Structure 1
């Protein structure tokens, strides 16, 4: 967190809040010469700094001295947002005790819940949900708390969100589903959980790629294994290619073998009339592709 103080006394308050120096903070606030809501040029308050740093007693002191719990800095962030981002569940509880709201958004649409989910703070997520946080919050680009948790591989948070009604197939504005994103990132356990909770195995983005295609392109064989348990499409996709073409392009032998073992067709051309084997000069890959191709032509 960056902040720029306006006066020497405000500077001292911010320093005490950041370092957790309760005695100094009390001395400064009790002097009557500095306001509990002193701000920097970005609208950052001492309460935000103490919340971000996780200093429970300093947060409590600032609140008791009249600090505005729900004040938003220039970016839209609040003390609750910062405490949630850093996983300070005790501070989050304290802020709720004194009236913190989950409804405030940052300029990009972020909320305390979206940021807690993104960083995988399951205790904070639980507290936020119990205090009215909306599981369907969305960033300006359409990403939900579930999407952000899937992107970062936070399985526990994903289970929490689904249990309270998060939609596993809610896509971002560009058509990207949580399953697709988890597959791209190589989070096989997340992929498994999402599939078991009803994720559409063949959901495609605007570019026509599916979770299997992306996992194959990235060479994430463990993800491919999980996806194949749910019989995803192995044929040509809307992007004019197949998962096997993608696996060959990745150069990952295990991914190619998994797809061939699931009956992916090495004799299926893409929209450019290229066979998977035409996309590589890797001898190991050609050896596993060519015998299959030969038997298919006999």
Structure 2
């Protein structure tokens, strides 16, 4: 966050807001020589700085002195967005008391709710939802608050959003769902909750990959075990690959063993030739596969 101000007094106001020096802030504002909404070259206000820095009393003083709670920086961020992003629930509540809106978006489409969900601030999420924030908000790329919480593994927040009506299978523009992203990142507990709430295990992204495929490629065995509980089927993807192919490509020995124990068929062809022709670097995996391949030939 930039701190280049328009006047020396404005610079002092920003310094006081950033450091939480309430006495100095009051002295400057009461002098009548500096506006409570003084800005830097990027449109940042002292209220935004206090909110981002977690200084509740300074933020309240600025509001009481006339600061506009809904001003936006060039990026689109507001004081509410910044407080929510940092997890300062007391400031979020105070801003709502003075008319803060959840409707403002950043240039990327982010809202205060999406910021709080991405960073796992469950108390802030609760406050935002009680004050009208929408669980159906989407970033410009289509990512929802549930998608962001699932991506980061924030289990409590994911549950809050689902209880509040978030769509469990809402996809990002590239086709990735919250389940697909949680599986790729290895968040097995989030995967379990999403499946219990009706997530489609076999939904595929635009590249044809499923949650099971991505978990196998990354070697996330705990995720695979959760996915297999909800459907033991281990069929071909649209591009002809399987989860077993993905595990071999990823060099994940334990994952190969897990999938074979779940009756993955090693004789299935890989129509797109995703397996490299020379697998010498995966010799240890081939030693696991060869007995099965021999039985299948």
Deviates more, 1:226-235 or 1:254-263: 226-235
8 Å Cα contact 1:245-1:276 kept in structure 2: no
Change (3 A) 1:277 1:231: farther
Q: Which runs of 5+ in 1 are unaligned?
A: none
Using the alignment, how far apart are the partners of 1:251 and 1:280 within structure 2?
11
Using the alignment, how far apart are the partners of 2:251 and 2:160 within structure 1?
37
Residue 145 in structure 1 maps to residue 145 in structure 2? yes
CA deviation after TM superposition for structure 1 residue 296, in Å: 2.4
Cα deviation 1:18-47 (Å, max 9, x = unaligned): 000000000000000000000111110000
Deviates more, 1:238-247 or 1:226-235: 226-235
Residue 265 in structure 1 maps to residue 295 in structure 2? no
Using the alignment, how far apart are the partners of 1:65 and 1:50 within structure 2?
14
Using the alignment, how far apart are the partners of 1:284 and 1:109 within structure 2?
46
Cα deviation 1:216-249 (Å, max 9, x = unaligned): 1111111111111112542221122111000011
Match of 2:39 in 1: 39
CA deviation after TM superposition for structure 1 residue 187, in Å: 0.9
Match of 1:51 in 2: 51
Tell me how many residue pairs correspond in the alignment: 297
Match of 2:207 in 1: 207
Give SS of 1:229's match: helix
Deviates more, 1:197-206 or 1:268-277: 268-277
Q: Which runs of 5+ in 2 are unaligned?
A: none
Pairing 1:179-218 to 2, within 5 Å after superposition: 179-218=179-218
Change (3 A) 1:170 1:279: farther
8 Å Cα contact 2:170-2:178 kept in structure 1: yes
Match of 1:173 in 2: 173
Match of 2:163 in 1: 163
CA deviation after TM superposition for structure 1 residue 3, in Å: 3.2
TM-score, normalisation: structure 1: 0.96
Give SS of 2:116's match: helix
CA deviation after TM superposition for structure 1 residue 274, in Å: 7.4
8 Å Cα contact 1:248-1:280 kept in structure 2: no
8 Å Cα contact 1:93-1:127 kept in structure 2: yes
